[in-house]
Structure 1
Amino acid sequence: MKTADPELMRAINRFHVLDTIRRHGPIARVEISERTELSATTVSQITGLLIEEGLIAPRQVGDIRSTARGRPRVMLELNPDAARVVGVKIGAHRIVAVVTNFLGDVLASLTLPVRVERQPPGVVADLVEDAIRRCVADARLSLKEINSVCVSLPGVVEHGSGLIRYSPVLRKSPTGLRDALLARLDLPVLIESDANAVTVAEHWFRLCRDLDNFLVVTLEQSIGLGVMHEGQIYRGARGISFNLGDLVTSSPGSAAISRLADFAAEPAILASCGEDPQLIDAARLGRGLAHLMGKGGVLEAERPSYRQAAATAGRAIGLAVANLVTLFAPPRVVLVGSSLALGEDLVGSLRQALARAVPPYLSDVTELVTDDMDDSAWARGAAATALRELYGAPWGTTGPARGPAPINHQEETAPWTGSRLE
């Protein structure tokens, strides 16, 4: 029987201890041992090193004393100043950045309106750099005080190498965004899909803090999928993230291939509403869905094509979610993203399709919830993704790689051009 790598086991144990303190602190060592199922000796060794490194801090609790030794009870909590990271969310019409401390508390946030898909690669890298620098300055910090950066965007990303295989908001893929930011910032940089980043946000801050197994479906420019399994983000080969919008939906007898995003992603919903000049202009500014909504917060009844487009998308997404429930049987599926602005016309038809399509023996297993989070919450998820890397690696030695990881295929990252790399 092959034994586990001792270094790997130590890193895993370290991560679980840190994550337990984050989730349940202030917490005593004995409770850490109970929650992680690690021995008291192992917990004592790990927490002792974490205190020496300044990642956690002991706190004596009032006059509560141990009857066995007569000493004040010591509780452990994260040191919020142990690290600071930047999380970035690149969307089709804006770039959002947040700076957080070691707990994930937001110290500063910034939104930069820009039509990203119109910009050449070097300009996108410049804009992301500027957003990071300005947000760090707003937090009254310097780049030297930042430990790492995580940039998230819709599409398919290889974790580790940072290769962007596809993104609907960039002109060309694959791109060397990570290499460009490494050269500009001289900081560890992680590139992640926004679906995975928002899944971390749900686990850390929002609707799934009580779960270690759940799914997140993102409904925006693309339809993304995040899978949390046993408290870890589940990825494919080479760390590839998932894009649910590429799910094939055509019948076996059809020669044409149709995909979920072709009629259920936000651009497809807007395009199906016809040649409305006002809608087209609003969509260019990222306000297409807002244009569809009436003053009462529902789709305008006098424009039935809008409601039909939303209902069609909802039914298609509902069938896709039913397939996910059949495959994974998760206790919870969370829907997030700008398409939720379509309200009951989309979500109601989605729920109905899901109820019809899910196998009867799983009908009571999965809870479907929606989370109306703003872009800063997505960026905070990217920051939490960077923190997870720090939690899971020996402090100050590994974490997000400074250089590009080897890519085991012939496709290389494309060079990014721009004055700052010349």
Structure 2
Amino acid sequence: MFDIRAIRENPDLFIRAWNRRKEGLGSSSVAKILELDKAWREATTAKQDAESARNANSKLIGQAKAKKDEAEAARLMQVVAEAKTTIEQAGEAEEAARKALDDLLMGLPNLPLDEVPDGSDEHDNREIHKWGEPKGINDPKDHADLGEALKGQGGFPLMDFEAAARMSGARFVALRGKLTRLERALANFMLDLQTTEHGYEEMSVPVLVRDQALFGTGQLPKFAEDLFRTTGDHWLTPTAEVSLTNLVREQILDVAQLPFRFTAHTPCFRSEAGSAGRDTKGMIRQHQFNKVELVSIVANEEEGLAELERMTGCAEEVLKRLELPFRRMLLCTGDMGAGARKTYDLEVWLPSQNTYREISSCSYCGDFQARRMDARFRAEPKAKPDYVHTLNGSGLAVGRTLVAVLENYQNADGTITVPKALVPYMGGLEVIG
């Protein structure tokens, strides 16, 4: 949601910002917002005026009857009846205009910061820096081929797409044996790093949430097709960001409590609507995957931007310790998520594709989510509450990190060297073969 007063007082700022997202979005949206806002305020004023008239004339009816002036009493009763009709009609108009206004505001994206580059898609993103040198691997194999070639009990593949497809269809995988342990090792390594060295508090949170949680973080109403819904009144979370951020919904915090830094390892569920033909093979884009999420709650924009650099650095440290080459990208307005004001993507090197692919996205959202969740704080005990500012990031997507490890640590004989940072989590195992 947005501050309607701010839009009313400075419409050009919102027009320019939304037009940077999509040509014409700001111009058409602000015009409609101001139209609905005017209708809502006029209906509210009409209702309030009618209520005042009803109350004032209701008192006069009694006085007229006390004076036995039946004609005046009848006239006043007619005025009150007309006022009641106006109250009902104006109330309906007020409610309709407010709902239309809220629905419009709920569907609009956040305002990009000035430092975010303009652009229409990923080709307009800006590289900030690179880390590590890609290994020279002759004829590198794809992670899916590597995983299927590794065998477990009964000769079944350690990365089994066929078994998963028989029970769940496309875009699922069943991991076995040492690959399952490697996936668990990655998650535990990430959690230990973020909690013991970076100050994040580990949480165990629901992966089933109600509508208001997804409205709060911005997935609803616009991105419902990307989600899985149960037959009841719950949705499967597409990321732990939803649950972690909603921990502070409808709360007024003390500034001394901030910042909050949360992390959680959860399964994530995405329908991947509209992504047919993209990464249909392997583990890059699946309906169910595991991720270690990072969420921060801070007081203002200055702290938020500093926290974005810190959070992105925390995610980068995972890749550094795994010795996986990566680059940091500043996303342009056209490639940035709807809830973000500024986003960094981390892209890891995948030898089989001879390119970098996204493995983490870290975003500063300002007070966009806080307004939708009614999450606030007090700077002083008796001060008026202000909205908190929120951030979220992947620290990291576990499945994609597994993909990167398999491809970057593959050996000519098909075995996989275990990264040094993971050997303790693998019981001392140094090679998967």
**Which of the two has higher C-alpha Rg?**
2
> If the length of structure 1 is used for normalisation, what is the TM-score?
0.21
> If the length of structure 2 is used for normalisation, what is the TM-score?
0.20
